[in-house]
Chains A and B, each alone.
Chain A
């Protein structure tokens, strides 16, 4: 499977030749296990074992300064957990995450690194739940500035809030209003303004437009792109919608049941998906261009993460699974070579490694 020598070399950003200097965020072997056991007494009485949920399992990736990494996957694949680990809402069970070369665990203790923490902010899916309904918009945006003591004096604060509101396409007069006076799209703009208030450089965006109508989604996606250009922001963009990820991301990681199964430059991933799950996801996108090609929905559903299948978690749904897949968990391996010898894509699949994956007729011209 070492075919396809297309000239996407400038985009092939992984493999051994990654420039260390430009990596802003590095996630290495991140693992998050939740203990979802019944309470201790119930467990003792019922002689039930501990129940552990492996939400994220050995996930590694880099995000370079100024780029957007998209993470896609279905509900329960662990993509939101990854975002929460990065911004520090959850603590890692194992592995490391470094931001600008500094381990994020030192943000809490090391004095010198405290100022780094505010550089990582998060945008949540539901703009109705993530803004305090009792606070005026100006106070919501001012909170991180006050908490971090970034500015002194009323006038300076006012000026900064007005600037932030304008930056996200609202007017300074909106600062006096309450969240309920805004539509979903405008509320998401307020969330973005709040994230930018602490002079963030990195935004973990967890399904930021999934609750919005398409025309409003377009407004927010355009705004995010403009802000990225203007302020040099770096995004981790999480979505279940592949078309949205295709629009915003430079590189894309596909997650299934806690693991990254494929990670590649956007063009490579969409033009030449290798992992059977990635192919399935691409085939599942409704065909708006109505090319008339019948889609073949893959049977089955995501298994219960409390009792994941052995070996490759995708094997019960995979048309190419064999005995090895049921036994051995595949790890991410480089596939395909660009002209400089760098890997085109990283795939965790035995079938790909063994060359058992048939060539794919490209439904989607990229």
Chain B
């Protein structure tokens, strides 16, 4: 069996504060194979974006990786010096963020930004890099790319800007793209365009994607596998169809039921009472237990690991009997 492209083992991200250490990502492990799309889904505060930031070495201080390992192609990248990480970021791991305006420098034309990115990572002359930049813009569907390349970010609409950001992420042909809520700031019709584009490009280039989003619909359309996060932990992971159609963790069950659907006429949505715990007060045992409709004694005291549950794995004691 070939080795996975990305291996994350027991990752722990902490924020030291005056009132003690907050654990934002707690013992998270997963892998992404070459060319695979892993969806990471969860609500605000679940730790999904921080997991992505930890992988590309963009954790904002005082946040820090306190434990665990991150391996890219079998090589540790979580302890690399700044410079070495900079060479990996962009070259081997690309990034797409939610707000395209924040990812682009307003003072430079998109051509300048693309050429700079390409030349940082690939041995190319200015002219070669510019030619590649035009090709990239064409590939992400920007009309009249040869002319538009000299325009500035403010001259593009939101959807077009996100295409430029995708072109930037793909500039050096990375093996992995971390896309953090890439469509959240866009209108629905534009969202569909961007998702279709991202899917096609990654298939054509064999790029693996870690797609971080709160939107189950986007995951359903894009991902091969999905990891559901809650309070800094992965609570369920499995093939995307299985997790969506037959969720195993009570949180995933609630989450799926709470999404309004056009296919179903429901009188009421499934309601998970309460809200995601704050980092300062993560419950003991299973962090979901105070909101869980199927809680029992063991959940309060003992933290469940990911246990086999059919084709998926769920961090829930309900599945302990099956494995034991």
Residues of A within 8 A of B (CB): 74-75, 183, 185-186, 213-219, 221-222, 225, 240-244, 246-247, 270, 280-290, 295, 297-299, 301-302, 364-366
Q: Give the residue of A213, A288, A364 whose beta carbon is less than 8 angstroms from that of B44.
A: A213
B88 at interface by CB-CB < 8 Å: no
Contact A74 B214 (CB under 8 A): no
Contacts of B244 in A (CB 8 A): 288, 290
Q: Contacts A243-B259, A288-B261, A290-B244 known; A183 to B266 CB distance under 8 Å?
A: no
Say how far A63's CB is from chain B's closest CB, in angstroms: 21
Known: A214-B216, A219-B271, A364-B263. A74 touches B276 (CB 8 A): no
Judged by a CB distance under 8 angstroms, whether B254 is at the interface is yes
Given A213-B214, A297-B192, A298-B189, 12 more pairs with CB closer than 8 A: A217-B258, A217-B260, A218-B259, A219-B272, A240-B187, A243-B260, A243-B262, A246-B261, A284-B192, A286-B192, A286-B220, A287-B220
Given A218-B270, A301-B157, A366-B265, A284 contacting B189 (CB threshold 8 A): yes
Q: List chain B residues, Cβ under 8 A from A285.
A: 188, 217, 262
Knowing A247-B266, A286-B218, say if A214 contacts B255 (CB, 8 Å): yes
Q: Name which residue of chain A comes closest to B41, CB basis.
A: A214
Taking CB as reference atom, which chain B residue is nearest A280?
A: B189
Measured between beta carbons, the chain A residues less than 8 angstroms from B217 are 285-288
18 cross-chain CB contacts under 8 A = A74-B187, A74-B189, A183-B275, A186-B275, A215-B43, A215-B254, A216-B275, A217-B260, A218-B270, A219-B271, A246-B260, A281-B188, A284-B188, A287-B217, A290-B221, A295-B192, A295-B196, A301-B159
B191, CB-defined interface residue at 8 Å: yes
Minimal Cβ-Cβ distance residue in B for A270: B262
Per CB-CB distance, the 5 closest pairs between chain A and chain B, nearest first, are A286-B217, A218-B258, A247-B260, A213-B43, A297-B192
* CB-contact partner of A214 in B190, B196, B214, under 8 A: B214
Docked Cα-Cα span, A60 to B217, in Å, equals 33
Q: Please state if B188 and A214 are interface contacts (CB–CB under 8 Å).
A: no
Answer whether residue B193 sits at the interface, using C-beta atoms and an 8 A cutoff.
yes
Closest partner residue, chain B, to A282 (CB atom): B262
Contacts of B69 in A (CB 8 A): none
Q: B188 contacts which chain A residues (CB < 8 A)? A: 74, 240-242, 281, 284-285
Report whether A218 and B218 are in contact in the complex, using a CB–CB cutoff of 8 Å: no
Please tell me if B268 contacts chain A, counting CB pairs below 8 Å. Answer: yes
Asked if B196 contacts A218 (CB within 8 A), the reply is no
- Residues in chain B near residue A221, CB distance under 8 A: 260, 269
Chain B residues in the interface with A (C-beta under 8 A): 43-44, 157, 159-160, 187-193, 195-196, 214-218, 220-221, 240-241, 244-245, 254-255, 257-263, 265-266, 268-273, 275-276
Closest to B141 in A: A299
Give the residue name and chain of the B residue nearest to A217 (CB). B258
Across-interface contacts of B160 in A (CB, < 8 A): 301
- Which B residues are in CB contact (< 8 Å) with A297? 189, 192-193, 196
Residue numbers in A under 8 Å from B190 (CB-CB): 301
B43's partner among A214, A287, A302 (CB-CB below 8 A) is A214
Distance in angstroms from B137 CB to nearest chain A CB is: 16
Cβ of B98 to closest chain A Cβ, rounded Å: 14
The residue on A at minimum CB distance from B221 is A286
Contact of A289 among B191, B195, B263, B270 (CB under 8 A): B263
Interface pair A288/B275, CB less than 8 Å apart = no
A352 to chain B, nearest CB (A): 20
How far is it, in angstroms, between the C-alpha of A217 and the C-alpha of B261 when the chains are bound? Answer: 13
Of the candidates B220, B262, B273, B275, the one whose C-beta lies within 8 Å of that of A242 is: B262
A288 engages B260 (CB within 8 Å): no
How distant is the Cα of A225 from the Cα of B271 in the complex, in angstroms? 13
Given the interface pairs A218-B270, A219-B271, the reply to whether A365 lies near B218 with Cβ below 8 Å is no
Once the chains bind, are B195 and A286 in contact (CB under 8 Å)? yes
Q: Which residues of chain A have C-beta atoms less than 8 A from B254's C-beta?
A: 215
Q: Determine the residue in chain B with the shortest Cβ distance to A185.
A: B275
Q: Give the complex CA separation of A366 and B266 in angstroms.
A: 11
Q: Name, among A213, A241, A298, the residue most crowded by chain B CB atoms within 10 Å (CB to CB).
A: A213
A125 CB → nearest B CB, Å: 14
Shortest distance from the beta carbon of A365 to any chain B beta carbon, whole Å:
6
Contact yes or no, A364 B262, CB < 8 A: yes
Q: Which of chain A's residues has its CB closest to B240's CB?
A: A290
CB distance from B139 to the nearest CB of A (A): 16
Q: Is the CB of B192 within 8 A of A283?
A: yes
Report how far A298 CA is from B188 CA in the complex, Å. 11
